Chains A and B, each alone.
Chain A
Amino acid sequence: MVAKSCTHICGESSPGIGEAGKTGEWRTSRPVIDPGKCIPAKRGKPSCFICWLYCPEALISKTIPVQIDLEYCKGCGICMYVCPAQAISMVNEGEFCSEQDGLNRS
């Protein structure tokens, strides 16, 4: 539901989650983390978190296990590129679509 209408006279917004809309809708491939390779998951204590540092959308959690907010992940692949353990792979979004309607059901 739309609460109220915009009173801005120029392009203006407040920094906040979702301010630019559901940017995850743009994604064509999805980062998938292999917990068997991810360093903090393997060691069971906070470590590495390089993907958390590099994600330009700041949507990777600094937790065990590491989690990615797919509502806003744009699929840029930077996390995959910086991961020292090659724990992240980019998987085509088509893999997550249902056969019948082509819509993303996952």
Chain B
Amino acid sequence: MINKKLDRKADIQILDGNHAAALGAKLSRVQVIAAYPITPQSPVTESLSEFVEGGDLHAEYIAVESEHSAMAVCTSASLVGARTFTATSSHGLAYMHEMLHWVAGTRLPVVLACVNRAIGAPWNVQNDQQDSISQRDTGWIQIYARNNQEILDSVIQAYKIAESVYVPVMVCYDGYILSHTEMPVDVPSQGDVDRFLPPYKPHAILDPANPRNYNLVTLANPRVNADGILCHGYMEIRYLLQEALQKSRETIINVGQEFGKLFARSYANMFWEDRLDDAEIVIVAMGSLAMEATVAVDMLREEGHRVGVLSLRVFRPFPKDYLIEALSKARLIVVFDKNISYGSEGATCSEIKSALYGNRINAVIRNFIVGLGGRDVKAREIADAVRKSLPSLEEGGPNIEYPEWICHM
């Protein structure tokens, strides 16, 4: 019914990932943007300031002196009822770390585009996912895009998700591989996005006419306030954040489904599946690497191996239960991580292992660390890593404790 009213004329533009993100924010009618430029995110801030200066976007663009301030501005702006956006990368995200906690703790639906870049030392401006993975415990929802269309679509959906569950959303995409690579992107009309995304309704609002305090010292135990109301202690507020993330999985899927109905691109999933139906070998990857993995699957299928790809789209909340079914037939799971939790293994590998625990899935899991600091990951290398893991299919046996690295060591 709604469909009939849609403009829905295809407007295919050739966009790099950064412009797709900026356009997503513009179409979402963001009202306050506070950002500090950093490679490879800078074109996002440049495009948005151009939109604002040119009068195409009615928003406040606040030029700040640091990423910490950028997120502080977003916190305040969100709390007075504005839809806010920021973008950053790597060291910028690390510098924002403290404020990421504040935003999630205050349950503000800020949306952040994280252009994934390696983090020092040593200096490196190229891609891996160490920056956003290092922020996984700040209470933000994390969505990873595989291509530029997904970047634009995810930013728009991010607002609907964030403003439904009052949890901030980080839309992550690979630096250079997506941020600076142009590809066709179907850009929805403003009217259609308006039909999808209602105006922001804050859960709480800072208003001089109705004075409130936010985030004052909150002791561990609940206490009775001046009106005789038993107020949450620190721990209850933290519990509510975890509960909100747990419950957000349903919202993420519903929003993705609704988006699909309106724009004919469905995101009713927590992860993407490619040829998993008959796969006994499953490659797990996240972001643009998952696209490369599908090419590796083509190669391996030609050799007669039954391989598929599970591409993680939502990393937080982690889709534990949802994964079980997709991995139920797997006998060998090869997880590729563009990050490493030093002293342990790749972050997605740990998550997969934890999801499978107690679910009678007896697959062998191998973990490969790849593509750090922009090291190219070729489909051939992914296929080689799978081939190298094949003996585990026959031998089974214990999993390898530490990950293997695809590098010159």
Contacts and interface: CB of A to CB of B under 8 A. Distances in A.
A15 B227 contact: no
B215 interface: yes
B226 A2 contact: no
Interface of B: 105-107, 166, 203-204, 211-219, 222-232, 234, 236-237, 240, 244
B226 A12 contact: no
Contacts of B211: 14-15
A102 B243 CA distance: 44
A6 B229 contact: yes
B212 A1 contact: no
Given A6-B229, A11-B216, A13-B213, 17 more contacts: A1-B228, A2-B224, A2-B228, A4-B229, A6-B222, A6-B230, A6-B236, A8-B237, A9-B166, A9-B237, A10-B215, A10-B237, A14-B211, A14-B213, A15-B212, A15-B213, A20-B216
Contacts of A8: 204, 231-232, 237
A79 B365 CA distance: 67
A2 B204 CA distance: 23
Interface residues of A, number: 20
A5 B237 contact: no
A20 B229 CA distance: 12
Nearest to A6: B231
A32 interface: no
B218 A11 contact: yes
Q: Is the interface of B mostly helix, strand, loop or mixed?
A: loop
A80 to B, nearest CB: 24
B230 A5 contact: yes
A4 to B, nearest CB: 6
Nearest to B232: A6
Contact of A13 (B107, B203, B216, B219): B216
A21 B222 CA distance: 11
Interface pairs A-B: 6 shortest CB-CB: A16-B226, A18-B226, A3-B228, A11-B218, A6-B231, A2-B230
Q: Is the interface of A mostly helix, strand, loop or mixed?
A: loop
Interface of A: 1-6, 8-21
A3 B230 CA distance: 8
B244 A9 contact: yes
Contacts of B234: 11
A3 B232 CA distance: 14
Contacts of A3: 227-229
Nearest to B79: A10
A13 B228 CA distance: 12
A5 B222 CA distance: 10
**Interface-central residue, B166, B226, B236, B244, by most chain A CB under 10 Å:** B226
Nearest to A3: B228
A9 B227 CA distance: 18
B390 to A, nearest CB: 49
B166 A11 contact: no
Contacts of A4: 229-230
B149 to A, nearest CB: 33
Contacts of A21: 219, 223-224
B225 A18 contact: yes
Contacts of B231: 6, 8, 13
Given A8-B204, A10-B106, A19 B214 contact: no
B229 A10 contact: no
A6 to B, nearest CB: 5
Contact of B212 (A2, A5, A12): A12
